[in-house]
Structure 1
Amino acid sequence: MKTILLKFSGPMQSWGTDSHFETRHTDHHPSKSAVLGLLAASLGWRRDDDRIADLNRFCFAVRVDQPGSMLKDYHTAHKPEVKNGGIISYRTYVTTRYYLQDAVFIVALGVSESSDMDKIVKALRSPYFQPYMGRRALPLPMDFLLDVVEGDPLSVLCSFPWQAADWYKKQEQRKGVGSKRLSIFTETPVRRSVSKPRRDHVLSLSASGRHYLARMEQETVCEIGINETHQEHNAFDALGGV
């Protein structure tokens, strides 16, 4: 098996799996349905394409490199209403939208067929439709496609270097520890881990009726070494020991 590693980072992200009407929630890490939707968009598939459900066969895992914080957005929208006589008026209403800000996630997709791997990597490098991080206003980072490596998603994520932002790494290094404990969410059975249902198994992404099933997700923790390359600047170093 080979694994594709994808990086989701930026000022804001949104990964809702349970949103209704005027309240739009976000989960604390990317959903499988959102990532598969991103793949389908990159491949040029429409929302009602039957091939999207077949992508569920890919092994999925996500590592939280930088958890970020929750942001609540006050948002207004206008809804047109037709009154007697055909007069159109607009009703203003408030929507509440939630985002994750300053978060970094590494998503791993395990793919068995080499033909699938080549097709997906090519599409991610040159997407047909514009991919985004949950909502159209949230673009992907430049280093979105990190690597393609041998191994299953869980083992690859346990050894892949920490991808948090420099300022966050400095924050952790000041604690004086040599490693960082990172959460990994996977659908692969892990010993002594607790499974929880998550409704992000895609049946259809059609705009006329999106349908999902619940899948079991498990959390495990791995330790990643902290790279000691970020040091405080000392202006007197340029004086050569004077």
Structure 2
Amino acid sequence: MTGPHVLLIRLAGPLQSWGLAGRFAHRDTHSRPTKSGVIGLCAAALGLDREEPLGDLAEVRFGVRADRPGIRVRDYHTVGGGTFPLRPRDLLTDHQRATKATAAAAASEPPDVFGRVDLAAWYGSPKYVTADPASGALVSQQVRRHAMITERWYLSDAAFLAGLEHEDQTLLERIAYALEHPKRLLWLGRKACPPTGDLALGVVPGTLRNAFESSALLPDATGPQAASAERPWAWMESPRPLPGAGLPDQPVRYDADGGLHSLRWETRHRITITPNAPGWDIIL
């Protein structure tokens, strides 16, 4: 069949996190799935390496409907606090620790005739064990590090209907199959956020707006956070630049250095779902 087709993808789970500008100490989440995050999900399902070009996968027109927007939650997270065994790397990279270790080694074992201290002999093993003078119990030589505090944001109990529009129906069907038979583990933006249930809901003819208007709300869209009066908001990618509507989430490539993204544009619409639109009971 010719003309545009849309692959519908269900994105639901206890937690989701779709970062736009997060760094290690502050991991943000957008209010909805990003194109970069969803294309990355599809690339992982297809088994693409980070260095591989995305090809037609990056050229799909992206849209998302917020059937259940969810609630933003903050995770107060600490990394690296407490005490740890002193490692050889600590002696090589931290001159202050090396100075203290040298003094401790000299106190327990005198320097040689040249004034040198055998740190290797003092360290002994990956976890240097000695007897505690007070209790006699065996303890490890420890160093204390200050904790790094990080702030991580998530969307709790959200459900979105994402759409990928393209002229190549075969490409969309291949992505749909991969989402249900993934070659790698799949996450809703971050590794702490696994999806629940089926992801691929099928390929339908038409545009993103047609697909969103003719698809019933997801079964997950119930309760106080559900879309009001079954008229959810939807965001659809625009083929041309729009003032004030740009997002830096158009994937160019993914790699170990964080990848490369460019700007894309989108429009926001209230979606009126067609009366008696077929539900998802058979699929979900």
Does TM-score exceed 0.5, indicating one fold? yes
1:55 Cα offset (Å) = 1.9
Runs of 5+ in structure 2 lacking a partner?
82-88, 102-142, 277-284
Q: Which runs of 4+ in 1 moved over 4 A?
A: 86-91, 169-172
Q: Does the residue aligned with 1:203 lie in a helix, a strand or coil? A: strand
State yes or no: 1:13 paired with 2:16: yes
Task: Map 1:35-54 onto structure 2 (within 5 A).
Answer: 35-50=38-53, 52=54, 54=56
* Correspondence for 1:236: none
Q: What is the rounded CA distance, in whole Å, between the counterparts of 1:166 and 1:185 in structure 2?
A: 17
Of 120, 126, 130, which residue of structure 1 is paired with 2:185? 130
Q: Which structure has greater strand proportion? A: 1
Q: Does the residue aligned with 1:26 lie in a helix, a strand or coil? A: coil
Q: Does the residue aligned with 1:198 lie in a helix, a strand or coil? A: strand
**Change beyond 3 A, Cα 1:171–1:200:** closer
Counterpart contact for 1:33–1:200, Cα < 8 Å: yes
State yes or no: 1:158 paired with 2:213: yes
Counterpart contact for 2:213–2:274, Cα < 8 Å: no
> Once structures 1 and 2 are overlaid, which stretch shifts more, 130-139 or 23-32?
130-139
Q: Does the residue aligned with 1:121 lie in a helix, a strand or coil? A: helix
Q: Does the residue aligned with 1:187 lie in a helix, a strand or coil? A: strand
Letter in 2 for 1:148: V
Return the index of the structure with the highest Cα Rg: 2
CA RMSD of the aligned region, Å? 2.8
Letter in 2 for 1:78: G
Task: Map 1:15-34 onto structure 2 (within 5 A).
Answer: 15-34=18-37
* Correspondence for 1:188: 238
Q: Does the residue aligned with 2:151 lie in a helix, a strand or coil? A: strand
Letter in 2 for 1:204: R
Q: What is the rounded CA distance, in whole Å, between the counterparts of 2:68 and 2:243 in structure 1?
A: 22
* Correspondence for 1:213: 262
Of 152, 156, 174, which residue of structure 2 is paired with 1:101? 156
Provide the identity percentage.
30
Greater RCO, CA 8 A, separation 6+? 2
TM-score (norm 2): 0.69
> Once structures 1 and 2 are overlaid, which stretch shifts more, 71-80 or 103-112?
71-80
TM-score (norm 1): 0.80
Runs of 5+ in structure 1 lacking a partner?
228-242
Of 91, 94, 100, which residue of structure 2 is paired with 1:83? 94
**Change beyond 3 A, Cα 1:91–1:53:** farther
Letter in 2 for 1:216: W
Task: Map 1:138-177 onto structure 2 (within 5 A).
Answer: 138-165=193-220, 167-168=222-223
1:56 Cα offset (Å) = 2.0
Q: What is the rounded CA distance, in whole Å, between the counterparts of 1:94 and 1:3 in structure 2?
A: 42
Q: What is the rounded CA distance, in whole Å, between the counterparts of 1:143 and 1:69 in structure 2?
A: 22
Counterpart contact for 2:5–2:204, Cα < 8 Å: yes
Q: Does the residue aligned with 1:65 lie in a helix, a strand or coil? A: strand
Q: What is the rounded CA distance, in whole Å, between the counterparts of 2:261 and 2:226 in structure 1?
A: 39
State yes or no: 1:120 paired with 2:170: no
Aligned residues: 219
1:188 Cα offset (Å) = 3.5
